[in-house]
Amino acid sequence: MTDLHLLDAVVSAHGALRQKKPLVQCLTNAVSSNFMANILLAAGAAPAMVDNPEEAAAFVAVADAVLVNLGTPTAAQVEAMRLAVEAAQRIGRPWVLDPIGAGGLAWRGGVAAGLLSFKPAVIRGNASEIIGLAGLGGGNRGFDSSSDPADSVPAARELLVHTSAVSASGPIDHVVGVDGQGSTQLIKVAGGSALLPRVTATGCSLGALVAAYTAVAATPLLALVAAHVHFAVAAELAEERAKGPGSFAVAFVDALDQVDAEVIRERARITRSALSA
């Protein structure tokens, strides 16, 4: 049964997103950039793809939140990422780590591990990436959801020494984090669509939407939950109209714009439980 108190908080965060239209600085991969920008605009935020070493740190002061996505990192982009997150930590801007491939490729895994020292507000990935980043598994494919999100919960808890909340996407998204009272929570967000992983950059774009919510939500944990709910509800709406992956991509952008408080209350499926120490 949906947690109604948490549902109210998600609706409030969604309203704040639409009202404040946060600017998200996206240091992301070449595959996702265009789709990600459109997803942010449709959801109610604003994108800025500023990812070069000469400008990345300075732009953090302009942005409301920062996304670091390790999809196709180059040496120059990694330098820009480090400069950006250092600036974010210094001036108090929330930033999100999306550790794509961290469980399967050693170099980018090392990059991700190094970025953890700059304390991301949240970490968002699939289960393989979360397990790989925490160092709990070997040989994970990293780029896809080859592990069940439920299997990532111990790894997510381990990563809380670096961040306030961690999510693993899947048929049921699993979110682990510390709430406003200091309690460690496991929140499950059901819904979405099987067509999401058949469209390039949907997961990457979820990371950008998470960043947008970190700029307006009361806590990083709520930001993660609100972004996952927004995404899942929009995906369900889009699937009802789509004939396949191509039409789904278009319908999904439309649906992100059409999600409102009434739709969230009607369709969101959120459960919460406390995790023992």
Alpha helices in 51-151 (DSSP H): 56-60, 75-91, 106-115, 127-134
Any binding-site annotation on 201? yes
Virtual torsion, Cα 29, 31, 33, 39, nearest 10 deg:
-120
In angstroms, the CA 274 to CA 277 distance is: 9
Closest alpha carbon to 208 in 48, 51, 49, 24: 24
- Tell whether residue 49 is among the known ligand binding residues: yes
Distance of CA 21 to the CA centre of its chain: 17
* Cβ within 8 Å of residue 56, ≥6 positions away: 25, 27, 50, 80, 81, 83, 84, 87
Q: What angle in degrees, to the nearest 10, is found between the helix axes of 220-241 and 245-258?
A: 130
Do the beta carbons of residue 120 and residue 96 sit within 8 Å? yes
Asked whether residue 169 is marked as a ligand-binding residue, the answer is: yes
Q: How far apart are CA 257 and CA 212, in angstroms?
A: 14
Q: What whole-number distance in Å separates Cα of residue 36 and Cα of residue 5?
A: 30
Cα distances (angstroms) measured from residue 242 to each of 150, 192, 206, 264:
29, 13, 20, 20
Beta-carbon contacts of 248 under 8 Å, excluding residues fewer than 6 positions away, are 193, 195, 198, 199, 238, 239, 242
249 exposure class (CB count in 10 Å sphere: 0-12, 13-18, 19+): buried
Q: Is 124 annotated as a binding residue?
A: yes
- Summarize the annotated binding site as residue ranges: 49, 124, 169, 201
Binding residues for ATP: 124, 169
Give the residue ranges of the annotated binding site for substrate. Answer: 49, 201
